Amino acid sequence: MSWTARYGTRTSVPMNSTSPTSPRVLVSGASISGLTTAYWLSRHGFAVTVVERAPHLRPGGHALDVRGPALEVAERMGILTTIRDRSTKLTGISVVDSAGEELFRSTECTLTGGRLDSPDVEILRDDLCDVLHGAVGNQVEYIFGDSIASLTQDESGVDATFVRAAPRRFALVVGADGLYSGVRRIAFGPDEQFLRALGDLYVATFGMPNFLGLERWQVMYSQPDSVGALVMGLRKDVNARTYLGFNAPRGLDYDFRDIDAQKRLLADRVAGAGWVIPRIVEHMLRATDFHFYSLSQVRMSNWSRGRVVLVGDAGYAVSLGTGQATSVAMVGAYVLAGELATHQDDLVAGVAAYEGELHDYVIRNQDIAVEQNARSDEPPDENATPGGLPDFGALTLPFALKNYQGGSRTISP
């Protein structure tokens, strides 16, 4: 079944128990932070609408890690077992040279997930979105294939206009629309004010035929002139998830919405590279699940403007370098919804409580990413994993999750 057939392309209306007086909240973005926020707001009795620019849940994306306190969030959502069942279940990694000869292998860790004996979970981005979407069920309204055009707020609410749908009014608007957040741009200003490059690495992820015949295994190749690739195969009969990237020390200026231009840029940058990269590029140019991104953070002094608030990468992207971005986003969504539920009579106060509760946790995670990037060119220390591969689990910070009350429900372990 296609993504369009499964999720639809326009609006699906919720069948939930919210009342006409339930606070109406608009969530922009149907990815990890948006779907997690929608789930918890719905649980707390809010009437939730999710608007997503894509015509359906977006396929593809890199492998994500659910770690530490995010595992507890997933457990409280009742999806942890499902996430574990749908995890990558990788068994190791090989590093090869330009001729494809194996230089190193490990069955203890992988590049994307860290140690294999960790209690944490690695899962493909689209699989996690599918699980979260299933958990939300029909309790929220979805508007696919649309986006917010403007937001005008006063003391009692926010008037939202859309590119396609009719204007509507909400008690609160949540920007959960990623690194290049449209909500952030509308409410706070241009991306350049908040995006901070973390290193000079640019990476694309996409699916391609598993022509290497990989089964729960990764193969990595890199060369001295800073071109690299990683192919992850979960089953021989299923497309492999592929990473292809390069370093650009002077940075890049590109249109984050122009996929074709991004593909051409990537193909030009890796031209002449060894191993099977020419064949990978052929598949990349045809990929329909292409994602291109840089290692960047979003740094903001605050994540709200009145009744507009940001969650996840839109407000505080950590970067991919520590394997914590998904966990921070899920924790942030849980806290935001919980504090809003606690302050249903004063949502602006709830937003302020969310920022106060989460601020130190976010900043510590971001600072760790900066420190890790600064050490990336140093030789691995004696506690590093085999081959100097990252141990993301060692970077996971604790966070004490509150038990929140909303409506008639108490959210607890």
Give the model confidence (pLDDT) of 22-64 as tens digits: 999 999 999 999 999 999 999 999 999 999 999 999 999 999 9
- Whole domain around residue 283: which residue ranges? 85-123+197-296
Q: Look at residue 74 and tell me if it is in a domain.
A: no
| CA pair distance 175, 50, nearest whole angstrom | 10
- pLDDT band per the 50, 70, 90 thresholds, residue 200: confident
368 and 304 inside one domain: yes
- Alpha carbons 26 and 321: distance in angstroms, whole number: 31
Q: Could you read off the pLDDT of 360-395 as tens digits, one per residue?
A: 999 999 999 999 877 765 555 544 566 667 788 889
pTM for the predicted model, two decimal places: 0.91
- Which of 310, 301, 291, 292 minimizes the C-alpha distance to 366? 301
Q: Say how many C-beta atoms besides its own lie within 10 A of residue 69's C-beta.
A: 21
Say yes or no: 262 and 390 in one domain. Answer: no
- Domain-terminating residue out of 296, 323, 358: 296
- What is the per-residue pLDDT for 18? 60
173 lies in the same domain as 261:
no
Q: Within this chain, do residues 175 and 274 fall inside the same structural domain, yes or no? A: no
Is residue 168 domain-shared with residue 181, that is, in the same domain?
yes
| Helix (H) and strand (E) counts in the chain | 11, 23
- Together in a domain, 231 and 345: no
Nearest to 282 by CA among 265, 267, 260: 267
Residue where a domain terminates, one of 296, 321, 352: 296
User: Are 372 and 325 within one domain?
Assistant: yes
Q: Are both 222 and 282 inside the same structural domain? A: yes
Q: Which of 40, 65, 132, 26 is nearest to 333 (CA)?
A: 40
323, HSE (Cβ side, Cα atoms, 13 Å): 26
CB distance 61 to 319 below 8 Å: no
| Beta carbons within 10 angstroms of residue 243's beta carbon | 21
Q: Which one-letter amino acid corresponds to residue 368?
A: I
Report pLDDT digits (tens) over 146-159: 999 999 999 999 99
Question: How many domains does one find in the chain?
Answer: 2
**First-residue to last-residue Cα distance in the chain:** 35
Residue 395, amino acid = L
Q: What is the CATH number of the domain that holds 316?
A: 3.50.50.60
Over residues 82-86, the mean pLDDT reads 98
DSSP class of 396: P
- Choose the final residue of a domain: 267, 296, 325: 296
Give the type of residue at 42.
S
Q: How far is CA 391 from the centre of its chain?
A: 20
CA dist 44 and 70 (Å) reads 19
Mapped onto helix, strand or coil, the DSSP state of residue 265 is: helix
